[in-house]
Structure 1
Amino acid sequence: MPALRVTVLFPSALLGAALLLAGCGGTSSPPPGGSSTPAPPTIATGAPPGGTSTPPVPVDPLVADPPDGTTALPTSQVDSSGLPPGFPTLAWTRGPRTVGVYGRAGGCTQATAQLVDQTPTAVTVRVVQTTTSTGPCTRELRYPPLEVTLAADLGQRRVVLTGEMH
């Protein structure tokens, strides 16, 4: 049986619009009123048809894991009430005499940690965010790990975190 051949003739304006829509992946018809502006291209999101998928939740840097080779302190041993809002509250140890915390730094800021006090019951660590320039600054935010060395083993002493911004 011979193949059936169909030829469709389009006026040149419609042919151009059809080719433009086909090239952009658009499938919508012009809106009422005769505008031939094509629909914007569809961007694949990875969601199934109907959009029922939820995007992955990014890791919250304020609820982080300690660096490799360290052990997170239990939250019951850490008092972070003296930290400014937005500062990470996780504390860890690297051996018996090193306490670590995350600082908060960025384009025109740096972070440091200072050992403020050591008593038989508590160790106080101050996390400082210092502005290093008036700008222009990039807007990235980093959480560098910072560590201080104690004079004696931490043991069961409480770790008190304070913080300030300059």
Structure 2
Amino acid sequence: MQNLLFAVEPNALETLLIDAQTPKDVCRDPQIRDQLDLQNSGAAMHELLTAQPVGAVYPPLHHAITAEYSFPHVRSAHGPVCYNSAVVVADIHAALQQISTEQFRQRYHAHAESLGNSVPESGRSGSQSEAEIEQLSIMFLRLKAFYGHAHEHNSAVISMILTDFRG
């Protein structure tokens, strides 16, 4: 499965909300400005972004991977096709900027410890764990850049999960 994010101008989003009937209609829209394929890391990224120390609140990050509002006429077999307005994108961008790569890595290790493992999934060796955190850290940097670019251009963001994406 692939978690996909698309940046689009607010006016183009309005048109898609009215006209799109399938996820492919959204993916193939010529007004898509930018795209990020989180590959299979979407669920792990969501867990790490929304796991917070006691007292910390980062509500916008709950919608960084799976956007807040559903498209009324479009559904993927694996979940809704959703969007974040440009205002929500600005909030997500600001929240992501508060997290350094080192803090993200610390979240990974804290999450693993909370599960009672030295690594997030039992049975993984140390080198597999390091490879996973490295991949997730790279994806985190891409996510920050994607939301930074979307915010810079006052874009909305569309999210969806697909099994077979050929954009």
TM score, norm. by length of structure 1: 0.20
Bigger relative contact order, structure 1 or 2 (CA pairs below 8 A, ≥6 apart):
2
TM score, norm. by length of structure 2: 0.20
Higher strand residue share: 1
Higher helix residue share: 2
